């Protein structure tokens, strides 16, 4: 793929990001609209796309090793973040959450689909399973339980977020249909009709995500060093883990040609956008640190995803 071809594939997403930034700045997009877009994406359009994407794949047991490898990588990166925060005496407790986990739902699928085609979303989905489980079973419960004294808060929050997540359910149902061999009836009128409906519902996902991402590009230039360092460090550490997974897991399983692009695209993404949703907003410095880091990480990810397309 040459530079011009990649640019043309990413251009629609970039236009929607710029449009989101301009519309928000001009006041056409309000915070309540953005919240609505997020709910539509997370609860409707993205799950519809993921369900049909996973149902259409030829599931293999060896994918389980990929799920476990990505989950383990996220957990190790999280522990590295906690250790680094102590060594660097970082004031914000959110560093480990910003460098572990990836914003696949609100950004990754749109970027990957823009570059490689929506028909290949299942490849990205296979890589996404492990990190989705990490974010909703580990990160979100820990963030939500910060400062809570009651015992069992973490496990309760973990269970509730996992059970109530349409994204996780769409992946589980899609994988179940794949394992049951739903593809064998893919030529039936009922299946093709349902598939067309779900695909139609999922089509607005990239545009809505672009508007959401663009509307969130708000920088505080008075102190960007810490945020920039966090965003860049995340990409460097994540890509190193991605290369290790490719060498130690994908290649031995014969999946490197199929999943390498999805793996590395995932591992250049910013941290999960759900962090600001669940974090406490009382400490303004923490809010600015998280928001600015995710904004910088978003721009770095767009550049990184294009770079990945040239080398895989």
Fold assignment, 3-311 = Na+/H+ antiporter like fold (1.20.1530)
Q: Give the pLDDT mean for 229-242.
A: 94
The two three-digit tokens of residue 296, written as one number: 């910088």
Give the tens place of pLDDT for each residue, 259-311: 999 999 999 999 987 777 666 655 667 777 887 888 788 888 888 988 898 88
Which range is most confident: 10-24, 67-81, 269-283?
67-81
Using CA atoms, how far apart are residues 112 and 50, in angstroms rounded to an integer?
13
Look at the block and give the residue holding tokens 């409906």.
Answer: 197
Give the residue from 156, 41, 30 showing the smallest Cα distance to 103.
Answer: 41
The two three-digit tokens of residue 286, written as one number: 């923490």
Q: Give the pLDDT mean for 4-25.
A: 78
Q: How confident is the model at residue 66 (pLDDT cuts 50, 70, 90)?
A: very high
DSSP state of 57: S
Using CA atoms, how far apart are residues 238 and 244, in angstroms rounded to an integer?
10
Give the residue from 70, 66, 120 showing the smallest Cα distance to 267.
Answer: 70
Give the tens place of pLDDT for each residue, 88-110: 677 678 899 999 989 887 788 87
pLDDT at 187 over 90: no
Q: What is the mean pLDDT of the chain?
A: 82
Using CA atoms, how far apart are residues 280 and 171, in angstroms rounded to an integer?
29
Given a contact cutoff of 8 angstroms between Cβ atoms, the answer to whether 288 and 311 are in contact is no
Given a contact cutoff of 8 angstroms between Cβ atoms, the answer to whether 156 and 289 are in contact is no
Lowest mean pLDDT among 71-85, 113-127, 188-202, 215-229: 215-229
């Amino acid at each position: 793929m040459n530079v011009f071809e990649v640019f043309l594939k990413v251009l629609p997403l970039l236009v929607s990001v710029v449009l989101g930034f301009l519309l928000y700045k001009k006041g056409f997009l309000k915070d309540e609209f953005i919240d609505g877009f997020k709910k539509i994406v997370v609860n409707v359009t993205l799950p519809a796309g993921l369900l049909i994407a996973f149902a259409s794949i030829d599931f293999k047991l060896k994918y389980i090793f990929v799920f476990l490898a990505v989950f383990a990588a996220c957990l190790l990166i999280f522990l590295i973040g906690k250790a680094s925060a102590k060594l660097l005496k970082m004031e914000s407790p959110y560093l480990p959450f910003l460098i572990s986990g990836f914003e696949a739902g609100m950004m990754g699928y749109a970027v990957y689909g823009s570059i490689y085609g929506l028909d290949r979303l299942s490849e990205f989905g296979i890589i996404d399973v492990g990190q989705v489980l990490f974010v909703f079973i580990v990160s979100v419960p820990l963030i939500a339980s910060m400062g809570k004294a009651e015992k069992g808060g973490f496990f309760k929050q973990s269970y509730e977020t996992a059970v109530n997540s349409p994204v996780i359910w769409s992946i589980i149902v899609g994988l179940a249909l794949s394992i049951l061999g739903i593809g064998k009836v893919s030529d039936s009128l009922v299946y093709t009709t349902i598939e067309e409906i779900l695909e139609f519902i999922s089509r607005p996902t990239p545009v809505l995500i672009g508007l959401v991402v663009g509307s969130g590009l708000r920088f505080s230039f008075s102190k960007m060093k810490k945020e920039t360092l966090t965003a860049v460090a995340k990409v460097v550490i994540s890509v190193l883990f991605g290369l290790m997974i490719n060498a130690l897991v994908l290649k031995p399983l014969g999946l490197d040609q199929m999943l390498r692009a999805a793996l590395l695209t995932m591992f250049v993404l910013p941290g999960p956008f759900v962090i600001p949703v669940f974090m406490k907003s009382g400490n303004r410095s923490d809010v600015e640190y998280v928001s600015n880091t995710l904004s910088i990480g978003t721009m770095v990810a767009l550049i990184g995803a294009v770079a990945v397309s040239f080398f895989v």
